[in-house]
């Protein structure tokens, strides 16, 4: 049974306020700024990690690539 929108919003707000989530978000934003400064990201592109952070990847330039939003956000939807 799907959650009510207000319940999900409250959960998301609490989850995203956790210190470890704030740190991860800050690291992702820093990686994006590095790629933008290097001129490797075009408008409409996302910065993707070649090796995911949860699998031991890093925010080093060698582990980052610019991909389309559809490619970066669509991998979760594969059946």
Give the residue extent of every domain in the chain.
5-77
35: which 2 tokens? 């790629």
pLDDT of residue 40: 92
Report whether pLDDT(60) > 80. Answer: yes
Report whether pLDDT(79) > 60. Answer: no
Using alpha carbons, select from 78, 24, 72 the residue that is nearest to residue 47.
72
Rounding to the nearest 10 degrees, give the CA dihedral for residues 39, 40, 45, 50: -150
53-72 mean pLDDT: 89
- What's the chain's Rg over C-alpha atoms? 15
pLDDT of residue 64: 92
pLDDT of residue 2: 67
- pLDDT by residue (tens digit) across 7-50? 888 888 888 888 888 888 898 889 889 899 999 998 889 899 89
């Amino acid at each position: 049974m799907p959650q009510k929108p207000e319940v999900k919003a409250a959960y998301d707000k609490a989850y995203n306020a956790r210190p470890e989530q704030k740190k991860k978000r800050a690291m992702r934003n820093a990686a994006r700024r590095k790629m933008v400064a290097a001129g490797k990201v075009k408008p409409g592109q996302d910065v993707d990690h070649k090796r995911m952070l949860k699998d031991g990847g890093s925010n080093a330039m060698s582990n980052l690539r610019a991909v389309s939003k559809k490619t970066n956000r669509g991998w979760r939807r594969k059946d």
